[in-house]
Amino acid sequence: MEVTIAKKERKATSEKVVGHFSDKGPTNSLCPVRDILSRVSDKWSMHTIILLGKSEKLRFTELKKGIEGISQRMLTVTLRALEEDGFLVREIFPEIPPRVEYRLTDLGRSLLQQLMQLSDWANENMDEVLKQRKRYSKK
C-alpha cells in the first residue's frame, strides 16, 4: 500500500512539474518560476524577509544590524527590489531627521510562509544532506 501511495505521489508531483515548467525552452523570457526565484532566493532578500517577519516593522539601521555581513548599499538595493515587487512597504515619516520604516505586505507575508516551509524542510533534512555530501566526497 505504501509503495502505491509513493508512486501516486511521484506521478502527481511529476504532473505538477510539467504544468509549472513549460517546454518552450530557455528562450522563454517570462518564466514566473525563474523570474520570482531569482529576485527572492538570494541570501539578502531571504534574510530581509525573514527578519521583517519577526517584527511588525523595522528601520533601516535595525535591518542592517540584524543581517550579518550586508553592506549599506546592498541592503538599499535589496529593499528597493522587494518594494518594487510588492513584498514590503517603505513608510517615510516627516520628522527631522526623517524616520523610515519597512514592513511586509500581505504578499510578503505569503512569501514568508513559503520560506518557512523551505526552512522546515532544510532543518528536517540537513543530517541526510550532510551524510550525502560526506559520501560524495569519499568518491
Domain with 65 in it: what CATH number? 1.10.10.10
Give the mean pLDDT of the chain.
Answer: 87
97 cis-preceded (ω within 30 degrees of 0): yes
What separation in angstroms does the CA of 7 have from each of 1, 11, 14, 23? 10, 6, 10, 24
Q: What pLDDT score does 74 carry?
A: 97
Does the pTM of the predicted model rise above 0.85? no
For 8-31, how does the pLDDT look when each residue is reduced to its tens digit (9 = 90+)?
A: 777 777 777 666 665 655 545 667
Q: How far apart are the C-alpha atoms of 120 and 94, rounded to whole Å? A: 40
As a whole number, mean pLDDT of residues 72-92 equals 96
Please tell me whether residue 115 adopts helix, strand or coil conformation.
Answer: helix
The three grid cell numbers given for residue 53, joined into one nine-digit string: 517577519
pLDDT of residue 14: 74
- Mean pLDDT value of segment 64-79: 97
Could you give the number of structural domains in the chain? 1
Is there a domain that residue 5 lies in?
no
Angle at the Cα of 87 from the Cα atoms of 81 and 93, rounded to 5 degrees: 85
**Assigned domain for 81 exists:** yes
Q: How many CB atoms lie within 10 A of CB 30?
A: 6
Q: What is the pLDDT of residues 103-136, one digit of tens each?
A: 999 999 999 999 999 989 999 999 999 999 999 9
pLDDT value of position 33 = 77
Instruction: State the sign of the Cα–Cα–Cα–Cα dihedral 64, 68, 70, 75.
Output: negative
- Report if residue 3 sits inside a domain: no
Residue 111 lies in a domain: yes
101 pLDDT more than 60: yes
